Amino acid sequence: MLRARDAMDHSYAQPLDVPALARIAHVSPAHFTRTFRATFGETPHRYLQRRRVERAMYLLRETDRSVTDICFDVGFGSLGTFSRTFTGIVGRSPRVYRGEAVATGVPTCFTKAWTRPHT
C-alpha cells in the first residue's frame, strides 16, 4: 500500500487508475481499494484528488499562472471538474482561494500543515 501511495504522491499529475496502482501493490484491484481505504481512511481516487488539490493550492498561492494552466498541470482533465473538486475540498473556488491566499516567508512544511485541506 505504501508503494502505491508513494507512486500517487510522485506521479499525481499522470493518469492513474486502480488496476495500475493495484499492480504496484501486488494485489487485485478490489482488494487494493478495500485495503487502501482501511489503511489510509479514504479511497485511492479521493486521495489522488486531494493530492492534486494540495499541489494546486501551492501553485495558486505562489505563482501567477492561470487557473486553467494549473488545472491541467496537476492532472485534471477539465476545468469544471477541477473547480468542483477544489471547492469541495477547500471550501472555496480556486479564484477566491487565490485572492485570499497570501504567499508567506515561512518554511514550506509549516505552510503545508496550515493549509492542508480537512475533509
pLDDT (tens digit per residue) in 3-59: 999 999 999 999 889 999 999 999 999 999 999 999 999 999 999 999 999 999 999
CA distances from 107 to 6, 35, 90, 103 (A): 23, 34, 21, 11
> 117 in helix, strand or coil?
coil
Quickly state the pLDDT bin for 101 (edges 50, 70, 90): confident
Q: What predicted TM-score, i.e. pTM, was given to this entire model?
A: 0.81
Task: Evaluate if residue 98 carries a pLDDT over 60.
Answer: yes
